[in-house]
Amino acid sequence: MSVSQERFDSVCARAREAMVLHSTADTLEWDERTGMPIAAGEYRAQQISTLRALVHERRTDPTYGDDLQQLIQECKNEDPHGPVSATAQQLHRDWQRDCKLPTELVERISKATVRGQQTWDAARQADDFSIFEETLGHVIDLKREAGQRLSEGTDRSVYEALLDEYEPDAKVDDIQQVFDDLRTPLVQLIAAIKESPQQPDTSILERTYCIDDQRDFSHFVAEQIGFDFERGRLDETSHPFCTTLGPHDCRILTRYDPHWLPAGLFGTMHEAGHGMYEQGLRPDWFGLPPGSYVSLGIHESQSRLWENQVGRSRPFWEWLYPQTNEAFQSQLDGVSLDTFHFAINTVRPSLIRVEADEATYNLHIIIRFDLEQQLIDGSLKVKDLPEAWNARYQSDLGICPPSDADGVLQDVHWSAGLIGYFPTYTLGNAAAAQLFDAASEQIGDLDELFARGEFRLLLDWLRERIHFDGRCYSGSELIERATGSPLSATHLIKYLKSKLEPLYGIIES
């Protein structure tokens, strides 16, 4: 049986039509997070929810599903990882998942999460969780209902059914194993660093850094590492993110702090990493699996690799520091490269996840992973969330948030209904270290390249092994094909110890 070109073209056309509507809703959400007037929020929720409902109707059309099922039969002799077979398989998988959710539930979730983000923003600015409590409770109830429907007929828990949207086929037990492998060596490393008399001077990063100068510098760095500003742009928002609105329209957003230079700079590098992944997908397959990212764990591996393995490395700053000194001359006058590099690699338990150091970052994720599972299974009530959050920060990181804004209200994810998103950050951290090790072995001396400001070879390596294939392989398959072994926490631990122990003068016993 050969593949019907007419049927394949028809399926692709319908998928692309749905993506036009989907990306239009994404454009409205981007506008909401960047410049929409506050009073426009209610109507914006209606606009977005209407578009999301239309997308859902197209993606769950029975005729569309029949054609996909027929295509799968026709593709039995095709390469399962080829673009035609992968398109049929992955679109059918999406169709089966989407059909479990009635359109009216999709519409209710969309309205609730648009309003949720607006209410979260207001609550965060007011530093008052009570403003957000009822709204969050409504979002959690709706996501629990969605998870219950999605888990029907599967061996997944309700939480795993939600997790599947971000990390397909992931299991809580497998994620927990990665977290368990990380936890003990991380806690030991953090304790050794805390006891070391050799500590960085971070006050140099807290001096007053002009926001306009930070904008110009961040734009320069993003462009130098490979973000294409002819196909994307950099803007500002209350919580950094990346969104793609078309095959040549990638938006990255960051935020700047006049008294903490790393916030804007590393936030930009992080989002540029996401953006370069999106720009590396095949534009002629936009809206279809070969031109779509495979999972958020893989997506996060790209952002964290550029932010950390590249952006916090000594060779990177051997290239960039003279230009940094020029951009911020008054603030960094007399500050040596060694002093600056040590400061941006400080390890210190802190309240804010997006500004956390590499060693403590995953502890922030583990806390959220545990709490959101409890919210979904009902063992933790929304009204008790701030208390539970503070207790975990005290027990796990030894610090207690002094306010809701620096505690339970710091992340936008739950207000947007992104339940199951958080664990992908740590999966991405582990994958970033493993990919970087493989790239170093296969390309050669990356340190020498970075010290000269040359990043193209690394970007090309990632494009070939991760970006180009889109969803033609699973995330785990991409990692194993690129690195030669399954995802493991060992590369991340090795990377952190090899960098941080010399900085802090730690001699391993």
Report pLDDT digits (tens) over 424-454.
999 999 999 999 999 999 999 999 999 999 9
Sign of the Cα pseudo-torsion (489, 490, 492, 493, in order): positive
Residue 232: predicted pLDDT: 98
Residues comprising the chain, all counted? 509
Confidence band of 35 (pLDDT split at 50, 70, 90): confident
Nearest by Cα to 178 from 356, 423, 498: 423
Confidence band of 51 (pLDDT split at 50, 70, 90): very high
Confidence band of 239 (pLDDT split at 50, 70, 90): confident
First to last CA, the chain: 64
Residues annotated catalytic, as ranges:
271
Beta partners for residue 422, in sequence order: none
Kindly write down the DSSP assignment for every residue of 299-311, as one continuous string. HHHHHHIIIIIIT
Task: Look at residue 3 and tell me whether its pLDDT is greater than 90.
Answer: no
457: tokens are 């070879």
Give the global pTM: 0.93
Instruction: Give CATH for domain 172-503.
Output: 1.10.1370.30
Q: How far apart are CA 280 and CA 247, in angstroms?
A: 10
Break the chain into its structural domains and give their ranges.
Answer: 5-163, 172-503
**Which residues are within 8 A (CB) of 166 and not within 5 positions of it... i.e. 6 or more apart?**
295, 296, 297, 418, 420, 421, 424
Confidence band of 412 (pLDDT split at 50, 70, 90): very high
Tens-place pLDDT, residues 178-231: 999 999 999 999 999 999 999 999 999 999 999 999 999 999 999 999 999 999
Q: How far apart are CA 84 and CA 96, in angstroms?
A: 18
- Do 45 and 89 form a contact (C-beta atoms < 8 A)? no
Per-residue b or e along 272-310, where b marks 16 or more CB atoms closer than 10 Å to that residue's CB: bbbbbbbbbbbeebbbbbbbbbbbbbbbbbbbbbbbbbb
Confidence band of 509 (pLDDT split at 50, 70, 90): low
Confidence band of 50 (pLDDT split at 50, 70, 90): very high
Report the percent of the chain where pLDDT is more than 90. Answer: 96
Q: How far apart are CA 300 and CA 309, in angstroms?
A: 13
Beta partners for residue 281, in sequence order: none
Which of left, alpha, beta for 296 (phi over 0: left; psi -120 to 50: alpha)?
alpha
Residue 398: predicted pLDDT: 92
Task: Look at residue 508 and tell me whether its pLDDT is greater than 80.
Answer: no
On average, the pLDDT of the chain sits at 96
